[in-house]
Amino acid sequence: SPALARMLARSQDRLALCEKHPDEFLALSAELRETPRASVHEMDGYVAVRAMLPPPERRALVLIDPPFEAKGEFAAIVTAVREGLHRLPAGTFAIWYPLTERARVDRFFEELGALTLPPTLMLELTVAGADAGPKMNGCGLVVINPPWRFEETARPLLADLTGLLAQSPGA
């Protein structure tokens, strides 16, 4: 995610990246050392939502790309989104999630739906069929306050990615 953000950032954009794990923080800091207008913070990204919003620009894309190592990750995301939207109602929030267990994702959607959300887009990509078992068979992205025409660009990309990454029938 940081490499993509750096690649897509415009010259006037400012990147603020957070990494909680010390070794990963050091690697990310070294990688972005020469990147203008980029800062790396050794902190939990969920804390950063409270600490860094709203930004001086009053506009932001907040990418939530959790490791999904903890059981309460989806609940933490919902809390961060609630706090983030309170601090920056017009901010764009993009949330990446794995597709491993449909019930967990459906519960996540229910919890998000309990919030009063502005326009929201959900995209999913599956690369393995329903018989893939417990492994990750795809991923999803929830985009709150998506940019204008984002869906028109994203949906064809999903079809292209499915063709490139499909591992089994049903992808």
Helix 73-87 / helix 102-113 crossing angle, nearest 10 deg = 20
Residue showing tokens 């907040």? 62
Given 13, 23, 44, 65, the catalytic residue: 65
Instruction: Label the pairing between strands 138-144 and 120-126.
Output: antiparallel
CB atoms within 10 A of CB 94: 19
Residue 55 token pair? 């930004």
Please list, in sequence order, all residues whose beta carbon lies within 8 angstroms of the beta carbon of residue 30, skipping any fewer than 6 positions away: none
Residue 43 sits at φ, ψ, to 5 deg, of -160, 160
**Among 66, 135, 59, 72, which Cα is nearest to 95's?**
66
Is 160 one of the annotated active-site residues of the chain? no
Question: Among all residues, which ones are annotated catalytic?
Answer: 65
